[in-house]
Structure 1
Amino acid sequence: MTGPDQPSAGQDRLPVAGGRRTWAWLRRRLGAQWTGVTWAALVGVLGAAASVVPAYALGTLVDRVREHAPASALVAIAAVIVVAAVAGGVATGAGTYLIGRVCGHVLADLRERTVARALSLPVTTLERVGKGDLLARVSTDVASIGKAATSVVPSLISAFLLVVLSLAAMAGLDWRLGLAGAVAIPLYVAALRWYLPRSAPKYAGERRAVGDNARLLAESMQGVRTVHAYRLEQRRLHDIHQASHQVRDIAVSVFTLFTRFVGRVNRAEFFGLAAILVAGFLLVRDGSVTVGQSAAAAVLFHRLFNPIGMLLFTFDEVQAAGASLARLVGVIDLAPAAAPADGGDPGEPADTSIRLSGVHFRYDGGPEVLHGVSIDVAAGARVALVGSTGAGKSTLAAIAAGILRPGGGTVRVGGVALPPDRLRARVAIVTQEIHVFAGPLIEDLRLARPGASREEVRSALAVVGALEWAKALPDGLDTVVGEGGHELTTVQAQQLALARLVLVNPPIAVLDEATAEAGSLGARTLEEAAAAATRGRTTLIVAHRLTQAATADRVVVLEHGRIVEEGTHQDLLAAGGRYVELWRAWEAHTPTSSSRQAPQRANLVRTPESSKS
């Protein structure tokens, strides 16, 4: 759950954690790395102390020169400067490494937690916010934090330690010199107080704009066929153009604000150094301090320009990283898909039958799309769901597969109401939204069963009729497919999905529009492949092509989230109800050869339809 200071998620965006919640999360993660944090702090202090020594020694050197000290004394002081510089460099490098290592562990933990939570989010949440915002968070936001963790944070901590010890060293020379240097502190604070309230909203807005832009790009690329089909190219380009211009405008305003901040910092540096020089002159004239002490104070303060600049000027990157961290913690704090109350071990299913009883469902508080639907699928049986687009077929299939949780009713396998993880372990779903993973073809298939032998993979491909074309690829099963690799046809990609199903070997299969994207010949090939892949399994089919319904053991007709008919293909044709209307419409839009011949096939399978039908 998100903290009380976290703004709630909008209808089209994932939530962003508030400041208190973000810092609380970061403190816990750093606390888990307390050993590394302690060592990094100790080494950092040593490095900062060693870096102060040369300025002290330089002041002593000035006084010795004025006193006409022998060369040996000057050489000794020079040696101290060299040794301190080397020691400071080594300690600073070691401290930077240790800080980077701690940050690396925290960043790795952040990545893992974000991705784990993203994968456990309810499907309805991902459908509401879209993939673009989530992709922007796990890519650009993680990259922003990674850059800060590996380069900015180590330098920032080293600079902070050097500033603190340098101010202490100036006060050690003479408290009045330290007080003169402190004149700049209110000016630095005023600059920060002016900058931070103005910059934080801008950086948060910039991250939101980047996320929106990424969402538009992702949606346009993933839906490129729809964009082309409806001639939406110019409209999508206009939307992307507007989003990109918004990102640009915010970035320019951030940079403009930052340059004004730099001017205020430069004024603080001027007044601080001027105060040191004036105070040093007056104190030397009165004999309160030596010329060397005054020079050392001036050198110490001048050397603070870089670390103070590092502290202040990297606030833009720190702010950006902070905004990104808040966005990622917002994802981490999202509630995962709700788990049922622990009622103890429900036991093992008696068989592979699946029963949905009184199922109700609605998407994100919208209207109910399923109204008390009940379906029984006997062990080893094939049941087809048919109906108009939007009837609730795909929603019901997703509930049966454990992807969606019903708002009411139960799902039982073999008479047992299994928790979602155990339900998904027994039910595998194949939809028309197929993804080919980038990499060797054999590794794509092994995602279904890690460690599967080459022969097992070949056997799975043979079952779905894909072995011949797989062997004909340039490098056979080792051919790189997916993005940047060999491009597979729609039918081939779907056969891969069915081959994964064979490798998983689930007792229950759900096929949701698995051949909807293929042409007539491709659909016939996929129907045969699907029949082979599900042979001997309890199967629920969302039938886009009614040839699948014709060969099922039972057909269930859904309309507006309710069952209106149920029976065998022949019984429903004889009944003259809604199924007959669907069948006649199917025949009217299907070539005679396929519509008349397909029902004669004994081993046809299923396909679905709209992803939310």
Structure 2
Amino acid sequence: MTATYEARPEGPGTPATETTEETETAMSGTSTDRPDRALLPTASGTESLAALRTILRGHRLLAVGAVTVLVTGTAIGLLTAPLLGHIVDLVVERRGSQALTLPLVLLVVVALARGAAAAVGSSLVARLGETVLASVRERFIERALGLPLERVEAAGSGDLVSRVTSDVSMIAKSVRQALPEFTRSALTIVLTMVGLAVLDWRFLLAALLAMPVQVLSVRWYLRRAAPVYAEHRVATGALQHQLLDSIGGVRTVRAFRLNDTHTALLTDRSASARDLAVRGLHIVTGFFSRLNLAEFIGLAAMLATGFWLVDNGSVSIGTATAAALYFHSLFNPINATLFLIDDAQSAGASFARLTGVSNLPAERLPRGGSVPVDGAVKVTGLSHAYADDRPVLFDIDLEVRSGERVALVGASGAGKTTLAKVIAGVHEPRGGSISLGGVDVRELGPSGVRRAVTLISQEVHVFAGPLAEDLRLARPGATDEELREALAHVGALEWAQALPDGLATVVGEGGHRLTVTQAQHLALARLVLADPPIAILDEATADAGSAGAGVLEEAASKALEGRTGLMVAHRLPQAATADRVVVLDEGRIVETGTHDELVAAGGRYAALWAAWSDSRQTSGQGVC
């Protein structure tokens, strides 16, 4: 069985009054301002190199083949300068036009051979790079999907999103563009230096006069660029986090008239990211001005050396010409190689951020081999806080019988969602214990809890792809008939079959757009397919509107058949149908009983019911 967590995030700074993260962020500004925000880890240089070696270990043959072909092609290309030098000598010696035929033919052959080798070598390097990139993505996604939601929320959603988007894009760009170019350029530099030494060792010494300036330029660049790129990555993450907070909470922002506040926050985040990017550009400009100086020094030394050697008869004019052409041909490879340090810095920073997440310890394994015997839930002395000084739940004792349906009710901020998420394993309790089916959750481990509990919130994600494959996320081996049975069970088969291509219709991003009611229907069908003993519905009908809510309440009731159900009730009529109602207030259970018992008792639930009834009479809409 596969449990599908579709929970709405709750920030680590959520106060004792339990608001959604959207409301909390809108009220407080942004969670990136919180002192307790803990970014996801970034790997050290040693850890990054170790990870890269591990990935490359299985692709040695491809790497050796790519380097061999590129070395061969580069070596062939280096024959161009000696051939041109030979042509110069032939012209100086007045050998006639017939003597030029063979060198010119050889130049054409060299160009064709070099081009073919470069194409094949670049293809192999690109293939190697894409293979490495795929491994990096897979390792990162595999680990990121297993991260506790609490850990992601502590870092801020923008931190993880920036790694999934901008960091992966940066590495992809480097792999597809920088890596082949860097490999070709580095080989050209090395083999050209060898060629200069073969012509005359003094040409090599002249070429090396540019090296001190280049080395100092690189050191100057690295000292300044590395911190700027690292800060820029963090600033970009903070900007994306603020964008998610402001856009995701737009309704709350408008309701509390916080437009100016959030605009100012976005302006500050954008300005910070922009200023760091401009600092990076200034550093790059200074870097290349220094490289131009190195080129001037090297070429002047090469021409002076050639003049001296020709003058004393050590070399011919053609050889001096070949040496000058060799050095001149180094301009682009050297500049490209050093310029690619810019991309390497960015890619290295991105790779370290991805590796930092990939290297996080795997989720702890269950302590024993016990499995829940039924769907009973027992909570004893449970307490929880998102921050040490702001507790949310206090000494909660709750026992739910297997197959019982319990509604969690209370005013906004009472702790309903927090209690549901702690039971579902989304958050770890600060104190107390939880057992599922008679087994302590610490023995079950995160994977065992996921198999036992499915949580569905009001925010359901529709994955891009065929509707059938979206459903199979809950049970990969489900047949088409089982999918139809699950849809029919929750009353969704009619609209599903009416889609343009039925269950084969592509939904989600770029596909057929499902309504809010249809998306929740889809989540409830996945619940039926997963078939966990315990299901938690966290306001799963809240966004559907009054008409859609009635349909979904009936569907939710069908989906809960045969399993224990905990419902965070947004609409009191949904609570009224439960076997038992548990009322929370300020993080404590204050009432428990059936709907009729609590209404007759005249307590907090009775007041909520009366308020709902009055609202129905005045507006015809039921809200809690």
TM tier, shorter chain?
0.7 to 0.9
**Which runs of structure 2 are paired with 1:514-593 in the superposition (5 Å)?**
514-591=540-617
Encode CA deviations 1:346-370: one digit per residue, 9 max, x unaligned: 2x43323232333333325453433
* 494, 508, 526: which one aligns with 2:520: 494
Q: Which runs of 5+ in 1 are unaligned?
A: 1-8, 599-606
In 1: Cα distance, 2:273 partner to 2:53 partner: 31
Residue 297 of structure 1, CA deviation: 0.8
Aligned length, in residue pairs:
587
In 2: Cα distance, 1:593 partner to 1:531 partner: 26
Partner SS state of residue 414, structure 2:
coil
Which moves more between the two structures, 261-270 or 464-473? 464-473
Partner SS state of residue 314, structure 1:
helix
Residue 265 of structure 1, CA deviation: 0.9
2:7 alignment partner in structure 1: none
**Which runs of structure 2 are paired with 1:345-364 in the superposition (5 Å)?**
345-346=369-370, 348-363=371-386
In 1: Cα distance, 2:184 partner to 2:123 partner: 11
**Which runs of structure 2 are paired with 1:101-116 in the superposition (5 Å)?**
101-116=127-142
In 2: Cα distance, 1:10 partner to 1:398 partner: 21
Structure 1's 94 and 496: CA in aligned 2 closer, same or farther, altered over 3 A? same
1:343 alignment partner in structure 2: 367
1:392 aligns with 2:400: no
In 2: Cα distance, 1:224 partner to 1:574 partner: 40
In 1: Cα distance, 2:398 partner to 2:207 partner: 80
In 2: Cα distance, 1:255 partner to 1:10 partner: 33
Is the 1:373–1:562 Cα contact (8 Å) retained in structure 2?
A: yes
Which moves more between the two structures, 383-392 or 70-79? 70-79
Encode CA deviations 1:226-285: one digit per residue, 9 max, x unaligned: 334344445434433443344333333322322222221111111101101101111111
**Which runs of structure 2 are paired with 1:218-367 in the superposition (5 Å)?**
218-335=244-361, 338-339=363-364, 342-346=366-370, 348-363=371-386, 365=388, 367=390
1:77 alignment partner in structure 2: 103
In 2: Cα distance, 1:162 partner to 1:10 partner: 50
1:416 alignment partner in structure 2: 439
In 2: Cα distance, 1:362 partner to 1:231 partner: 29
1:179 alignment partner in structure 2: 205
Encode CA deviations 1:576-601: one digit per residue, 9 max, x unaligned: 44433443444344449989xx9xxx
Which moves more between the two structures, 205-214 or 566-575? 566-575
Partner SS state of residue 509, structure 1:
strand
In 1: Cα distance, 2:59 partner to 2:174 partner: 18
In 1: Cα distance, 2:618 partner to 2:297 partner: 91
**What amino acid maps onto 1:345 in structure 2?**
G
1:197 alignment partner in structure 2: 223
Is the 1:403–1:424 Cα contact (8 Å) retained in structure 2?
A: no
Residue 421 of structure 1, CA deviation: 1.0
In 2: Cα distance, 1:442 partner to 1:589 partner: 41
Q: Structure 2 length as normaliser, TM-score?
A: 0.86
In 2: Cα distance, 1:365 partner to 1:57 partner: 76
Is the 1:124–1:364 Cα contact (8 Å) retained in structure 2?
A: no
Residue 146 of structure 1, CA deviation: 0.5
Q: Percentage identity across aligned positions? A: 50
1:164 aligns with 2:190: yes
Structure 1's 285 and 10: CA in aligned 2 closer, same or farther, altered over 3 A? farther
Structure 1's 356 and 519: CA in aligned 2 closer, same or farther, altered over 3 A? same
Structure 1's 489 and 233: CA in aligned 2 closer, same or farther, altered over 3 A? farther
1:383 aligns with 2:388: no
Structure 1's 109 and 220: CA in aligned 2 closer, same or farther, altered over 3 A? same
1:437 alignment partner in structure 2: 463
In 1: Cα distance, 2:280 partner to 2:216 partner: 19
In 2: Cα distance, 1:117 partner to 1:587 partner: 48
Residue 155 of structure 1, CA deviation: 0.8
Residue 110 of structure 1, CA deviation: 1.0
Partner SS state of residue 510, structure 1:
strand
2:21 alignment partner in structure 1: none
Is the 1:49–1:165 Cα contact (8 Å) retained in structure 2?
A: yes
Encode CA deviations 1:441-462: one digit per residue, 9 max, x unaligned: 4443333333544443333333
Structure 1's 110 and 591: CA in aligned 2 closer, same or farther, altered over 3 A? farther
**What amino acid maps onto 2:251 in structure 1?**
R
1:401 alignment partner in structure 2: 424
In 2: Cα distance, 1:280 partner to 1:355 partner: 89
Partner SS state of residue 449, structure 1:
coil
In 1: Cα distance, 2:133 partner to 2:301 partner: 42
Structure 1's 26 and 555: CA in aligned 2 closer, same or farther, altered over 3 A? same
Is the 2:374–2:533 Cα contact (8 Å) retained in structure 1?
A: no
In 2: Cα distance, 1:90 partner to 1:384 partner: 71
In 2: Cα distance, 1:246 partner to 1:408 partner: 40
* 455, 464, 468: which one aligns with 2:490: 464
Partner SS state of residue 462, structure 2:
coil
Q: Which runs of 5+ in 2 are unaligned?
A: 1-34
Is the 2:405–2:564 Cα contact (8 Å) retained in structure 1?
A: yes
Relative contact order, higher structure (CA 8 A, sep 6+):
2
Once superposed, what is the RMSD of the aligned Cα atoms? 2.9
Structure 1's 161 and 570: CA in aligned 2 closer, same or farther, altered over 3 A? same
